[in-house]
Structure 1
Amino acid sequence: MDLNETYLVNVKKQFVYYKTVAEKAIAQLEENQLFVALNDDTNSISVIIKHLNGNMLSRWTDFLTADGEKEWRDRDAEFIDTYTSKAEVMEKWDAGWKCLLNGLDSLAPEQLSTIVYLRNEGHTVIEAINRQLAHYPYHIGQIVFYAKLLKKGNWDSSVHP
């Protein structure tokens, strides 16, 4: 396996790892806890997932051929809590991850130096992937931290390595 193939395999493993970390945290919560915001300056887990969904769909739809900031994306609306159930939250979570993972799976190793655009700024495919690999775990860390706060001492730390 050449270096580019190794990179694609590794980066997919990293994304799946962080997806699993968040899912294990979410699984420990009661449905209503997904919608709790501690104050006006924080987002609920539901809102964080809504933002991740919007970002993933925008960035990974037509990844190689269209700017990653799609015209149809309404980023500001991602921070308004409109989801009403855990099922809806998880449906949006899964849709975003499906788009991301399909996008990764569609890449060939020789495309890693191709230029793609995010907000009209050129990035190599590797740079664009790395940008998202920094962004998504940042928010997943928020989800885990929030879940720990909401569990108030009843956190099962065995689910996280």
Structure 2
Amino acid sequence: MALKFTTSYIEDALSVFRQYKLLGERAMLQVSDEQLFASLDEESNSIAIIVKHITGNMRSRWTDFLTTDGEKPTRNRDGEFVEPPATREALMREWEDGWACVFRAIEPLTDADLSRTVTIRGEAHSVMQAINRQLSHYPMHVGQIVLLAKHYAGERWQTLSVARNRSAEFNRKVAAGEASQR
């Protein structure tokens, strides 16, 4: 995704969220259905469990974002770490639904809304703080998805950013306007 110059926090936050959504999708496309649901060991989460967790968080945080606590009483956080959706298709529907909550909540906002107060787990946050909280949470989990996908794909892995030992080539393409800097 090409970097678009902006001084709007909301516009930039939406761009970063979209970038990480796409990064997760591109990683998940590189693994088999079986690998989506595999765990490295008993204490590790599968890609599917990570998706279930972050989409549960997304629904809770972003539904009625400005008017209700971001930790909804209906959320079962512990349940997010067991029994993921049974198929890739069901998992990707969860993924899309979760991200739709994020975008529906943020897209109508303006930078003037950044100082408004919202609550998460009973604690007051400015809208900007609430967005930042999730801008640190979701990329961490997308990074886990990428790491697991890269592990499972092995030699079949296709890089999602600048390929190893290709920085100079990438920089030339950026300078020529042929590649994105993000």
**Structure 1 gaps, min length 5:** none
What is the count of residue pairs matched by the alignment?
A: 157
Residues 16-62 of structure 1 deviation map (CA, whole Å, 9 limit, x = unaligned): 00111110001111111100001111000000000011000000000
Poorly superposed stretches of 4+, deviation over 3 Å: none
Which whole-Å CA distance do the structure 1 matches of 2:107 and 2:14 have between them? 8
Query: SS of the counterpart of 1:28?
Result: coil
Asked if structure 1 preserves the Cα contact closer than 8 Å seen for 2:55 and 2:95, the reply is: yes
AA of the residue aligned to 1:71: P
Q: Larger Cα Rg: Structure 1 or Structure 2?
A: 2
Q: Percent identity over the alignment?
A: 43
Match of 1:16 in 2: 18
- Report the Cα offset of residue 131 of structure 1: 0.4
Question: What TM-score, normalized by structure 1, do the two folds share?
Answer: 0.94
1:105 and 2:107 are equivalent in the alignment: yes
- Report the Cα offset of residue 82 of structure 1: 3.1
1:125 and 2:111 are equivalent in the alignment: no
- Report the Cα offset of residue 101 of structure 1: 0.5
- Report the Cα offset of residue 152 of structure 1: 2.2
Which whole-Å CA distance do the structure 2 matches of 1:48 and 1:81 have between them? 11
Match of 2:55 in 1: 53
Compute the RMSD of aligned alpha carbons.
1.2
Query: SS of the counterpart of 1:106?
Result: coil
Residues 78-121 of structure 1 deviation map (CA, whole Å, 9 limit, x = unaligned): 00023110000000000000000010112132111011000000
